[in-house]
């Protein structure tokens, strides 16, 4: 199974009673894969991992793996942001479910403990990805990442960092690895730097657009990639006027994809109605760019 392309970090919709809306989980998985996404990344930050119980996370995996299999799509399961015992249990469950890889953020502890942690995760038998995300406080230096990437069973990293030089060093230093760009705002730049794919929150909203950017990268159409990125950055700038994650959640609700994406309220209800309307209108234009590529094909 290829682990390249647009891997959507699937949301875990929350129902009005505070529980996971499992029907919506499946619907969203089916929707993004039908729109051209190449895989799913389950129970990450976008999937509200820290607020889900281990049992809820296992059920999300059990429900979505068959959906991905039916589409020939890959699945990566994030097992971090949990107790160490739960992380290993979740890793074992994911491997037994037949996922293509597992991933985790590092520990908030001295780095040698994270090295031992990743070594332990490899014992589950599935390839392991390091999740490097400085904006959320999960960061490592190149040398620290290199120490983990040298472990047998560690397959690569998700790099959610503005520092594209770090991504370039990882690509050059670990040619056999797989490295993803994780920040939506630099979608095109990360892929043009050489990332093997993208795992970005906003691909939940416009997977077809992300697939178009990926296709343009693969075809060597750098000018098109940068032009699409410019339009995308102008759209995201509307969300960055306030809480960009709250804006994302508000748009997911406006589209009818998820009543709520996060168990702890993100503040979506506080996003001004005028901002939501403006972003919905611009979102229609972004989605149209994805449909243009589909029509041309």
Q: pLDDT digit of tens for each residue in the chain (297 aa)?
A: 689 999 999 999 999 999 999 999 999 999 999 999 999 999 999 999 999 999 999 999 999 999 999 999 999 999 999 899 999 999 999 999 999 999 999 999 999 999 999 999 999 999 999 999 998 888 899 999 999 999 999 999 999 999 999 999 999 999 999 999 999 999 999 999 999 999 999 999 999 999 999 999 999 999 999 999 999 999 999 999 999 999 999 999 999 999 999 998 767 778 999 999 999 999 999 999 987 766 555
- Give 189's contacts (C-beta < 8 A, 6+ positions apart): 164, 181, 229
pLDDT of residue 14: 97
Domain-by-domain residue ranges, the chain?
A: 5-219
pLDDT of residue 293: 61
pTM metric for this prediction? 0.96
pLDDT of residue 267: 72
pLDDT of residue 112: 96
Query: CA nearest 246: which of 275, 270, 274, 277?
Result: 270
CATH superfamily of 5-219: Aldolase class I (3.20.20.70)
- Give 202's contacts (C-beta < 8 A, 6+ positions apart): 184, 236, 248
């Amino acid at each position: 199974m290829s682990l390249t392309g647009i891997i959507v970090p699937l949301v875990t919709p929350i129902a009005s009673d505070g529980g996971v809306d499992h029907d919506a989980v499946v619907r969203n998985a089916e929707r993004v894969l039908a729109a051209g996404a190449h895989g799913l990344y389950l129970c990450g930050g976008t999937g509200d991992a820290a607020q889900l119980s281990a049992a809820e996370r296992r059920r999300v995996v059990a429900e979505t793996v068959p959906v991905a299999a039916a589409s020939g799509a890959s699945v990566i399961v994030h097992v971090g942001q949990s107790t160490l015992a739960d992380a290993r249990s979740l890793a074992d469950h994911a491997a037994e479910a037949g996922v293509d890889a597992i991933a985790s953020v590092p520990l908030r502890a001295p780095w040698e403990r994270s090295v031992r942690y990743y070594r332990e995760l490899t014992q589950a038998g599935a390839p392991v990805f390091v999740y490097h995300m400085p904006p959320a406080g999960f960061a490592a230096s190149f040398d620290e990442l290199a120490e983990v990437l040298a472990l047998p069973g560690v397959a690569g990293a998700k790099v959610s960092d503005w520092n594209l030089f770090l991504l370039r060093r990882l690509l050059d230093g670990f040619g056999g690895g797989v490295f993803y760009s994780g920040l939506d705002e630099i979608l095109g730049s990360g892929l043009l730097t050489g990332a093997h794919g993208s795992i970005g929150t906003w691909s939940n909203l416009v997977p077809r657009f992300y697939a178009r950017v990926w296709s343009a990268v693969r075809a060597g159409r750098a000018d098109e990639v940068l032009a699409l990125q410019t339009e995308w950055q102008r759209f995201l700038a509307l969300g960055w006027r306030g809480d960009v994650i709250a804006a994302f959640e508000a748009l997911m609700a406006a589209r009818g994809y998820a009543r709520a994406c996060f168990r702890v309220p993100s503040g979506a209800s506080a996003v001004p109605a005028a901002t939501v309307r403006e972003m919905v209108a611009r979102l229609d234009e972004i989605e149209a760019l994805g449909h243009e590529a589909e029509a041309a094909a």
